[in-house]
Amino acid sequence: MGFFLVLKAELVRTFIIMRRYWFATLTSLVIGYGMLMGLILGFMARRDQVTEMIDNRFGVDPSSATNAALGLIIGSFAFGIIGIFSQGLQNMARSGQLEQLCLSPHGLVTNFLARSLVGSTASILTSSIILFLVAHSVEGRIYADPLPVAALLFLTYVDLIGFGFMLGGLVLLFKQTGQIAVIVRIALLGLAVWASDRVDTGYAVLDALVHILPVTDAAICLKHVLIRNQILLDTGQFVSVFEISSFYYLVLNSLVWTAIGISVFKWMENWSRDKGTLGSY
Amino acid sequence: MNPGYMVEVANVNKVFHTHHFLQRHEESGKRAWYRKKTVRAARNISFGIRKGEIFGLLGPNGAGKTTTVKMISGLVRPTAGAVYVDGMNVDTKRLATLRRIGVVLEGTRTSIWPLTPLENLAYFGNLRDVKGPVLRKRGMELLDLIGLKDKMNVQVRHLSRGQKQKLAICIALISDPPVLLLDEPTTGLDVQSSRSIKDKILEITRELGKCVLVTTHDMNVAQELCDNIGIIADGRLVACKPTHALIDYFSDVTCAFYLDRAADPTPFLGIPGVLSAECNSEDGEYALVLRLIRQEDQRSAALYAIVELLKNSGRLLHGVERRKQTLENVFIQLTSGLPPATGD
Ligand SMILES: Nc1ncnc2c1ncn2[C@@H]1O[C@H](COP(=O)(O)OP(=O)(O)O)[C@@H](O)[C@H]1O
Ligand SMILES: [Mg+2]
């Protein structure tokens, strides 16, 4: 019950700020659109090559435009969510709002869950708008089953927050680590762009490591649903996401990371209370 | 645990450890790769606050006031001792005790600046399970009570310091908690805003029957607001008394005699009723500063004797001044172990 009120409070706050700072909201949309358009137009200049790949119908080439564009969107989604826990937390400490959240009778974890849920919903909405605008501009069509995509996006969110909580706990303790988190965020973005059908680095250990990191399997599944399903559409066949191993990795990954992340966060919150740095900058 | 107290701080200690890298040592000037420092921010602090009472925690910067407030609100965990709010241990029942307290730490930084006061109250109300018509009604009442009603639709970033501080108090009160903790509510405000905040705190306590803790380094604020005052210095609660008792306790009189030449303070200490004596040079003049006993007939005799002694020494007496008791003097007395005036 309390969680939904916190969620509502966050939603209203986010909406008011987006509306009040409409210029910033609008420019971020335009910039996102511009970047994606640039990327796609670049690939369109080499259209025949791309068509050939799609005709191939074998797999998704990691260098294909759609793969990169989708990767960029999923990557920036991850970038954003982790950002709420790292830089976001650091900025809140600086502005004094974190202290208020620490004094909330629902606890920090609930508040950050609500905050990140609202933040990611907002970013999914803006990404969808950008994606549809881009698709419209290049006269392509986006076909997406809303339900599986939404379910996968939610899993992606769960996959990321555990990691986010872990970084957030670190930032609670050592406020300056917010800067280091930028590297982690960029790495996740790169991972989302790079990960395609399978992970195959040639080294078993490295493969395992890549699977353990959040976002990898999420990106694979989402790309799978959004690209492969479209490719096979005219044959009337869907490749179900349940048929790829990444989906199960994703579910497992989400559960494990969330459990670890929230425990670590609570532990660090307590430590921070001992150190006297909870909520302050 | 004393059941009469709404807030009770029982033998609380807090030790902070800080780690320093590549820092020069203050005294030796030597540079070390790593050094650990220990600060004892609270040493065996104990006090209690009843319902409907304003308790003032008075002390200079760095005394441990904010740390104490943070320990009551669960932001800092005591190294030893315990804090109880409404009979519950803050450490073990943190979230439950948070429902009973409203805290203003740095008032100007509490609110969300791009939102208006009304939107802020709605946001923080929801965070504390207040919603719907109750939230709206209470929000309006609080803004009215504190005098922000005409600003309720202006973004907080356009408000003045004092108005932000007032809004922070409203935010702390939005869930109608029985306990209100205010950390330096008047610091950095001009005389008028400070006056108005003090009035509002009094009004809120009396009208809504809250249990209030105010920290301040301003003697006047404590004196005007508080029923009980605790004086804290260097992490120690050096005095904790009802306000009137504390003022009596330190109401010995300090007089300054301005002279043309320096005077040796020792002979003055021989006069009955003189508690301490020192001679300073101030702006080319010499001031003989004497602390005198409170009791009036003894003090009078002492003053005549001092004048007599000065006259006999052949010095020119430029003027006499009776100095107000200041917080600074109180601190010096309390922390240096000098006895307070024994008047009664
Ligand atoms: N998180 C912390 N880490 C280390 N030292 C701290 C911390 N918080 C406060 N201190 C130290 O504790 C002492 C008391 O601080 P504080 O309670 O803020 O004083 P006040 O509010 O009375 O000015 C100061 O010496 C301060 O430097
Ligand atoms: Mg302070």
Q: Which CATH number belongs to the domain containing residue B298 in this structure?
A: 3.30.70.260
Q: What is the pLDDT of residues B178-204, one digit of tens each?
A: 999 999 998 888 888 888 889 988 988
Measured in Å, residue B14 CA sits from the centre of ligand 2 at 15
Interface residue A13 vs chain B (CB under 8 A): yes
pLDDT at A44: 66
The confidence score (pLDDT) of residue A35 equals 85
Average the pLDDT over A220-230 and give the result.
Answer: 73
Chain A contact for B13 (CB, 8 A cutoff): no
Residues with CB under 6 A from ligand 1: A 275-277; B 16, 18, 39, 41, 59, 61-67
Domain count, chain B: 2
Calculate how far, in angstroms, residue A77's C-alpha sits from the geometric centre of ligand 2: 40
Distances (CA, A) of A237 to A53, A61, A150, A189, A230: 19, 20, 21, 31, 10
Tell me what pLDDT residue A216 has. Answer: 84
In-domain check, residue B130: no
CA of B288 to the centre of ligand 1 (A): 37
Q: Is the domain of B43 the same as that of B60?
A: yes
Residue A100 in tokens: 């208020």
Quick check: is B203 in a domain?
yes
Write down the H helix ranges in A86-215: 87-95, 97-102, 107-137, 146-173, 177-194, 204-212
The answer on B199 and B95 residing in a single domain is yes
Same domain, B202 and B310: no
Residue B119 located in a structural domain: no
Q: How many CA atoms lie within 13 A of A246 on its CB side?
A: 27
For chain A, the domains span 2-275
Q: Domain of residue B273: give its range.
A: 252-323
Distance B65 CA to ligand 2 centre (A): 6
Helix, strand, coil fractions of chain A, as percent rounded to 5: 80, 0, 20
Question: What percentage of chain B exceeds 90 in pLDDT?
Answer: 49
Predicted local distance difference test score (pLDDT) of residue A152:
85
Contact criterion met (CB < 8 Å) for B76 and A273? yes
Tokens at B324, concatenated: 């107000």
Claim to verify: residue B197 and residue B71 sit in the same structural domain = yes
> Which listed ligand is nearest to B60 at the C-alpha?
1
Between A260 and A130, name the one with better pLDDT. A260
Minimum-distance CB partner of B126 among A9, A96, A107: A9
Alpha-carbon gap: B75 to the closest alpha carbon of chain A (Å): 6
Instruction: Note the pLDDT tens digit of each residue in B318-338.
Output: 999 887 666 566 666 676 654
- Regarding an ipTM greater than 0.90, the answer is no
In Å, how far are A107, A125, A257, B91 from A271, measured between CA atoms? Answer: 15, 37, 21, 13
Which pLDDT band, with edges at 50, 70 and 90, does B344 fall under? very low
- State the average pLDDT over residues B288-314: 90
Q: Has residue B264 been placed in a domain? A: yes
Cβ–Cβ contact B131 with A under 8 A? yes
Name the residues around ion ligand 2, CB cutoff 5 A. B 66
Across the interface, do B76 and A105 touch by the CB < 8 Å criterion? no
CA A269 to ligand 1 centroid distance, Å: 19
On whether both B11 and B94 belong to a single domain, the answer is yes
Whether residue B241 is found in the same domain as residue B276: no
Does residue B243 fall inside a structural domain?
A: yes
CB contact under 8 A, B126 and A97: no
Give the ligand whose atoms come closest to the C-alpha of residue B41. 1
Q: Do B187 and B92 reside in the same domain of the chain?
A: yes
Any domain includes B86: yes
The whole-number pLDDT of residue B13 equals 95
Interface of A with B in 56-115 (CB under 8 A): 95-97, 99-107, 111
More confident of the two residues A6 and B249: A6
For A10, nearest residue in chain B (alpha carbons): B123
Q: How many CB pairs under 8 A join A and B?
A: 88
Question: Do B213 and B281 sit in the same domain of this protein?
Answer: no
pLDDT band at A51 (very low <50, low <70, confident <90, very high): low
- CATH (domain of B64): 3.40.50.300
What is the predicted pLDDT for the residue at A234?
47
Same domain, B185 and B306: no
Q: What is the pLDDT of residue B80?
A: 94
Contact state of B115 with A16 under an 8 Å Cβ cutoff = yes
In a domain, B125, yes or no: no
Whether A24 has its CB under 8 Å from any CB of chain B: the answer is no
CB A225 within 8 Å of CB A149: yes
More confident position, A64 or B74: B74
**Cβ(B55)–Cβ(B182) under 8 Å?**
no
Name which of A7, A98, A103 to mutate to probe chain B: the one with the most chain B Cβ atoms within 10 A of its Cβ: A103
Task: Judge if pTM exceeds 0.90.
Answer: no
> B273 and B235 share a domain?
no
pLDDT at position A141 is: 61
Q: Residue A111: name the closest of B134, B72, A119 by CA.
A: A119
Q: Single out the residue in B201, B226, B248 at which a domain terminates.
A: B248
In this prediction, residue B234 has a pLDDT band, given cuts at 50, 70 and 90, of confident
Domain boundary among B232, B248, B264: B248
- Residue B113 in any domain: the answer is no
